[in-house]
């Protein structure tokens, strides 16, 4: 087998499922689910083959495909795909979460199942393409492509205000992307290539130009993260999205923004990255504190988890703009940790919502006695999200704070000190949520469900199978993170050398 084709196989294998779904009889609803699930599992299997052929000691791009694509009027655009330490874990996270998200919809999606599964598999293609593309124009194509299926997933299968949320999501992301497109065109035309490795190697972009290019890319990525104050689309999108949409939105789509910073802003514009590091770190710290405080005052469980994402991804941004090895490695690992923990939280919220049809945790209470397995799983995920030592969240946050404390680029330990308050606030709002739902006397929702002739059930076998892989990773990363750091360290060290040269 030609292993150079593996990135292409991983990226486009979901399209096989899409083609099969087109030809299935609309009456065979169960078959839609099985085809989509098996397609996503095959994609995950191919990504494991990709991982097995990935040389963790090699900091450069691996399994590269570089073919001429658009070669007109001096435009040198290539179909350029490859994998390195910055993208390998995000590729695995995408292929890992997609079948889990699809399995969570088994009984939740009852209308237009065929369309839902087609859009979901197409979304996976776009997300994988974003992490694989090494040509700026190709990256932009995949980046914009992800908007379409996510727009329909929210707009068709979302909550009562789904149209408003889907349009807001689309317009916010599209507006930021236009600035990035202008910057991409300037780079490609003036530098003679759109290939990211070639642009990094060439360097030589004047510091003044770097500033404008950095800002153009940064706006697009900051909206996607989302960073404060460009975050207002996120709670609406999360609350209105179906459970599977929320899982993949939090788990992968938001990481496209943080990935964009580490893939493009830092290596392409190192002088500008150094210049803006204190400002970006400051916005990250504001996001950490703001997201945590606003989370505490939410009554909708899903909205609480959505605002917590703003806080958690603030830590990622702080780590990336520490511009040192510890901070960037911690930031990349925390992208994965957030995808696992927050993805699990959205799954668990969806599981209880299917039974009660409410996310207002004021009506809950005493669920530990009624649903002990559910309560135990939610406790583990809650502790993971608040960064308890021994679980995955602690490893990423600790490494980020370590990098921020010693950051020459940020220039002050106060950023790390203030962001550490976010860890305490996370414990407050997460434990408050848990106490309201699971402890104390039985809430009114328990009685309401009984009045309708049935009691709340604990997790089913399918739901346990859905959540179990995430629990395994929560403990694995928390207790033995070395394999994950091993995958990303060499590429990050190479990136840090470029940044240190810019610092002088």
With cut-offs at 50, 70 and 90, classify the pLDDT of residue 43: very high
Q: How far is CA 319 from CA 100, 155, 262, 327, 330, in A?
A: 28, 34, 10, 4, 6
Mean pLDDT, residues 230-243: 81
- Distance, in Å, from the CA atom of 332 to the CA atom of 149, rounded to the nearest integer, reads 26
What tokens appear for 119 in the block? 């859009």
pLDDT at 453: 56
Average pLDDT over residues 166-193: 87
Per-residue pLDDT at 131 = 94
List the beta bridge partners of residue 66. Answer: 80
What does the pLDDT look like over 419-466, one tens digit per residue? 889 889 999 999 998 888 888 777 677 666 666 656 778 888 888 999
CA distances 334 to 89, 168, 384, 399, 474, Å, are: 11, 27, 12, 9, 12
Helix spans in 192-268 (H): 196-202, 207-224, 233-240, 243-248, 254-260, 266-268
Predicted confidence (pLDDT) per residue in 355-393, tens digit: 777 788 778 878 888 888 988 999 999 999 988 899 998
The tokens of 70 are what?
Answer: 């658009």
For residue 113, the Cα-to-chain-centroid distance in whole angstroms is 24
| Tokens encoding 295 | 């989370």
- Give the SS3 label for residue 31: helix
> Which pLDDT score is estimated for 90?
94
pLDDT digits (tens, 9 = 90+) for 387-416: 889 999 899 999 999 999 888 888 788 888
* Per-residue pLDDT at 48 exceeds 90: yes
Cα-only R_g, the chain: 22
What backbone phi and psi angles, to 5 degrees, belong to 248? -80, -30
Q: Are 273 and 496 in contact (CB under 8 A)?
A: no
| Beta-carbon contacts of residue 60 (< 8 Å; ≥ 6 apart) | 84, 491, 494
Tell me the DSSP string of 148-199: HHHHHHHHHHS-TTHHHHHHHHHHHHHHHHHHHHHHHHHHHHHHS--BHHHH
Per-residue pLDDT band at 32 (split at 50, 70, 90): confident
How much is the pLDDT for 458? 81
CA within 13 Å, CB half, 117: 35
**Taking all residues of the chain, what is their mean pLDDT, rounded to a whole number?**
88
Other C-beta atoms lying within 10 Å of the C-beta of residue 42: 17
> SS3 string of 118-136?
HHHHHHHHHHHHHHHECEH
In 23-112, alpha helices (H):
29-52, 88-104
**Better pLDDT: 2 or 230:** 230
d(CA 191, CA 74): 11
Orientation angle between helical segments 372-385 and 325-356, nearest 10 degrees = 150
């Amino acid at each position: 087998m030609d292993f150079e084709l593996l990135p292409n196989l991983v990226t486009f294998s979901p399209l096989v499922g899409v083609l099969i779904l087109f030809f299935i009889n609309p009456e065979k609803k169960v078959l839609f689910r099985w085809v989509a699930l098996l397609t996503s599992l095959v994609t995950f299997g191919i990504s494991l083959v990709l991982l097995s052929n990935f040389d963790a000691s090699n900091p450069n791009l691996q399994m590269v495909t570089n073919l001429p694509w658009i070669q007109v009027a001096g435009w040198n655009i290539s179909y350029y795909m490859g994998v390195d330490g910055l993208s390998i874990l995000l590729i695995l996270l995408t292929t890992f979460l997609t079948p889990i998200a699809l399995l969570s919809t088994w009984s939740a999606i009852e209308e237009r199942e065929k369309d839902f599964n087609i859009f979901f598999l197409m979304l996976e293609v776009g997300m994988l393409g974003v992490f694989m593309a090494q040509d700026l124009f190709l990256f932009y194509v995949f980046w914009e492509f992800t908007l379409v299926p996510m727009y329909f997933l929210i707009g068709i299968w979302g909550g009562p205000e789904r149209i408003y949320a889907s349009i807001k999501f689309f317009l916010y992301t599209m507006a930021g992307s236009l600035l990035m497109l202008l910057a991409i065109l300037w780079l490609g035309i003036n530098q003679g290539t759109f290939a990211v490795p070639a642009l990094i190697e060439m360097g030589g972009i004047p510091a003044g130009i770097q500033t404008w290019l950095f800002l153009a890319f940064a706006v697009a990525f900051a909206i996607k993260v989302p960073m404060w104050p460009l975050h207002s689309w996120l709670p609406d999108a999360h609350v209105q999205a179906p459970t599977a949409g929320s899982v993949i939105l939090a788990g992968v789509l938001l990481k496209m923004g943080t990935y964009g910073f580490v893939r493009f802003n830092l290596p392409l514009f190192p002088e500008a990255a150094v210049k803006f590091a204190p400002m970006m770190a400051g916005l990250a710290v504001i996001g950490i504190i703001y997201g945590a405080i606003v989370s505490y005052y939410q009554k909708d469980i899903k909205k609480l988890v959505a605002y917590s994402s703003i806080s958690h991804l603030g830590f990622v941004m702080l780590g990336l703009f520490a511009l040192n090895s510890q901070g960037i490695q911690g930031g990349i690992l925390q992208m994965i940790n957030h995808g696992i923990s927050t993805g699990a939280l959205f799954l668990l919220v969806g599981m209880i919502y299917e039974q009660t049809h409410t996310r207002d945790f004021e009506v809950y209470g005493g669920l530990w006695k009624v649903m002990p397995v559910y309560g135990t799983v939610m406790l583990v995920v809650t502790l993971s999200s608040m960064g308890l030592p021994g679980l995955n969240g602690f490893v990423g946050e600790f490494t980020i704070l370590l990098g921020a404390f010693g950051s020459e680029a940020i220039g002050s330990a106060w950023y790390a000190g203030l962001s550490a308050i976010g860890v305490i606030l996370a414990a407050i709002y997460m434990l408050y949520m848990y106490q309201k739902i699971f402890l104390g006397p039985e809430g009114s929702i328990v009685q309401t469900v009984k009045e309708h002739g049935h009691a709340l059930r604990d997790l089913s076998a399918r739901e346990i199978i859905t959540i179990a892989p995430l629990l395994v990773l929560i403990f694995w990363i928390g207790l033995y993170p070395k394999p994950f750091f091993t995958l990303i360290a060499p590429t990050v060290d190479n990136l840090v050398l470029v940044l240190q040269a810019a610092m002088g």
